[in-house]
Amino acid sequence: MATTTAEPTVGRSRTGLILALSPLPFAVLVITLLTAVAASGVEDSGDITPAIMTDIRLQWIGVWIVYPLALIFGSVGMFRLFRSRRGALARGALVATCLSVGCMLVSTALNLSLTGFSAERLGAVTRYDVALEVSLVSFWLAWVALICGGLALRLSGVLRRTGLVVAILAALLGIVDVAGHGAVPPFVVSFLWLTLGIGLIKARGVPS
């Protein structure tokens, strides 16, 4: 019996730690992004010229390596949390999480292909616009995953209060993000992952 009960506890604790640590990759992303912006001398990436891209190619690649990794890190926690849970909401959270990662990988591939563009400015390249839209969809799906996941936890009796709070906040932030076409900074999603992670750690304890 000891083995049977210990394994779920350890698994949930590890999932909680992954979610709780999810803001850290986004912190690395912000630093990488600020470095790229400082090197480029432009505030809007759409204004990057071919000459500027040549100068900041390594920083651009760095941003589009760290960016998907930051999203994937938290998504791994969401996947672990809902992969074995039953119910339509849990499945919705799982599907939305997987689609979110898929969209981000597509956006990453498109952005990495822009290092050798020849247009007057990056904003004039169709792939840039497509990559931006797909990236936005990726985070909109992350909000959907949090809404479904939070409600699933609420209804299942696990993290009832935390799940409800996360679902409500995700819904509000998601609406603002969609209405403002990316108005919510991407790293904000990690704070809701953090909230779920802390809830899991407190509920199950972290194995020593």
User: What string of pLDDT tens digits covers the 208 residues of the chain?
Assistant: 333 334 355 567 899 999 999 999 999 999 999 988 888 888 889 999 999 999 999 999 999 999 999 999 999 999 999 998 999 999 999 999 999 999 999 999 999 999 999 999 999 999 999 999 999 999 999 999 999 999 999 998 889 999 999 999 999 999 999 999 999 999 999 999 999 999 999 886 433 2
Environment class of residue 111 by beta-carbon count within 10 Å: exposed (0-12), middle (13-18) or buried (19+)? buried
Virtual torsion, Cα 115, 121, 125, 130, nearest 10 deg: 80
Angle at 90 between CA 88 and CA 94, to 5 degrees: 110
Q: What is the pLDDT of residue 157?
A: 86
Distance CA 115, CA 128 (A): 11
pLDDT at 39: 85
Distance CA 131, CA 4 (A): 46
Instruction: Name the residue among 71, 73, 76 with its Cα closest to residue 107.
Output: 71
Q: 23: helix, coil or strand?
A: helix
The span from the CA of 151 to the CA of 162, in Å, is 10
Amino acid, res. 93: A
Per-domain residue ranges for the chain? 2-204
- Please report the pLDDT score of residue 1 as a whole number: 35
3-class state of residue 52 by DSSP: helix
pLDDT for 3 = 38
What DSSP designation does 186 have? Answer: T
pLDDT at 51: 94
Residue-level pLDDT at 8: 55
Spatial neighbors of 154 by CB under 8 A, at least 6 apart, are: 160, 163, 164, 167
Token digits of residue 15:
């999932």
